[in-house]
Each structure stands twice: as C-alpha cells, then as structure tokens.
Amino acid sequence: MNEAHEHIIALEEQLRVAMLGADVDALDRLIAPDLLFTTHMGQVIGKQQDLDMHRSGLLKFRAIEAGERLVAAAGPVGVISARMNLVGSFGESPFNLDLRCTRTWRQADDGRWQILAGHMSIA
C-alpha cells in the first residue's frame, strides 16, 4: 500500500469516528461544501442535510465496520470503495445494513482533504 492509499484509509477512519460520535464539527471539516451523496435508497443529499441529520440525532450509528477496501488515488483525488456494515437508527427505525460505499476525496486549495461525492448501495 502506498502513501496515498494509506492517507485515504486514514481519512476514512477519521470519518468513521466522527460519524459514530455524531461529531458535527469534524464532519464539517471532512465534507466538501458542494457534496453530492447518493444514499442506498437513491436520494441525493448535500452537506447541510448530512450535518443536520447528525446534529439533530435523526441518524445515529452504534457500529460502523469497514470490510474489503479498494483505493485508487492520483494527485489531489482519491476514491475508496468499501464494504460497510452499518448499525444504528434513523428516527425510530433501527437498521443493520451491509452496504458498498464509494467516496471521492479531493484535496482543496488549502491542503485539506474533503469528501466531494459518495454513493451507497446494498451489497
């Protein structure tokens, strides 16, 4: 694994910890302002919708486990495709999902890496 791959894996770990802790400040730093994220139900959400779900407690994670991870990185862009098991609740509805998640990370002009796009599907 090269340095770029290791960096993307480290960013994914920061994201996982932030999601588990509903750390909206950390999520705000990790998510690009112009995020396009397609949920496993086909809905497209942006950064504010994502942050609001965590901030309000509507979306709560109890466990996030990454399995198989494939990484492609070139210059200021990295893409990861990971098998994920997500356990938590959305509103009053509990979930335990086996998903494939693809995220595109990009390095902004200020040097920060952020998620620009993502997509989830049932694995």
Average pLDDT over residues 64-76: 93
| pTM recorded for the entire structure | 0.94
pLDDT band at 2 (very low <50, low <70, confident <90, very high): confident
| Structure tokens belonging to residue 60 | 């709560």
Q: What pairing do the DSSP bridges indicate for beta strands 113-122 and 31-38?
A: parallel
| Structure tokens belonging to residue 82 | 């990971």
Q: How far apart are CA 123 and CA 113, in angstroms?
A: 27
Q: How far apart are CA 80 and CA 93, in angstroms?
A: 28
At residue 1, the pLDDT reads: 61
Average pLDDT over residues 85-99: 97
- Asked whether 105 and 11 are in contact (CB, 8 A), the reply is yes
- What sign results for the dihedral spanned by CA atoms 90, 121, 77, 87? positive
